Chains A and B, each alone.
Chain A
């Protein structure tokens, strides 16, 4: 069981806005950094959001990250079929002196 809780699945139709949550209840992620990764089968994770709300060069601005209290969120606007992938949140926890990952959310574009 992951310290960070994500819904195992999410879905949306093309053009919709989808939000994926990452709950760190009891883990105090409100004062730490959160990264979001997109992963396709057989490929390495690709960072799409780092430092909670920063987008690397080349990542469309349809992707955005935010944090409130003990939860973080990844929002994907204008959903496209190419967004169908697994998404993982990750946070650094001082209490563990290490990184923790959410269990991952499989996003399906209907």
Chain B
């Protein structure tokens, strides 16, 4: 079965970077883009960007451009999202998700990133 399993919770200081991983299984990694979505406590869902595992190409929401990088390791079927210059407003649960335009979505379990001095 399709699974996306994310790395554990992180605590970072303002100005630092965080890198969250998303290990996939149960399907051919290169066939589906991986998206990243975040959710601050008590807030809605916010799409951050997508990454094509086949080409490595990525597209980011304007809000995060220059501060986010989405990469992958095709040999392990793992996607990564790195967010830099962290500030308190970046405290949120970060989700990876397989979101085909026409097809069943699958989500990871989420990774809590806390930014605090």
Residues of A at the B interface (CB closer than 8 Å) are: 2, 32-33, 35, 37, 44-45, 47, 50-51, 54, 56, 88, 90, 92, 96-104
Closest to A97 in B: B59
Chain B contacts to A: CB under 8 angstroms: 35, 37, 44-47, 49-50, 59, 61, 95, 99, 101-105, 107-110
Of all chain B residues, which has the CB nearest A56? B104
A103 to B42, CA, bound (A): 11
User: Which A residues lie within 8 Å of B95 (CB)?
Assistant: 44-45
Question: If the complex has contacts A45-B107, A98-B47, A101-B45, are A51 and B102 also in contact, measured as CB distance less than 8 A?
Answer: yes
Beyond A98-B50, A98-B59, A98-B61, is A45–B45 a contact (Cβ under 8 Å)? yes
Q: Kindly identify which residue among A44, A98, A101, A102 contacts B107, using a CB–CB cutoff of 8 Å.
A: A44
**In the complex, which residue of chain B has the Cβ closest to the Cβ of A35?**
B105
Complexed CA–CA distance, A33 and B104 (Å): 11
When the two chains form their complex, are residues A98 and B49 in contact, meaning their CB atoms are under 8 A apart?
yes
Determine how close the nearest CB of chain A comes to the CB of B55; give it in whole angstroms. Answer: 15
Contact of B44 among A44, A47, A101 (CB under 8 A): A101
Can you list 15 A-B pairs, Cβ within 8 angstroms, ordered by A?
A32-B101, A33-B102, A44-B107, A47-B104, A47-B107, A50-B103, A56-B104, A90-B45, A90-B99, A98-B47, A98-B49, A99-B99, A101-B37, A101-B44, A101-B46
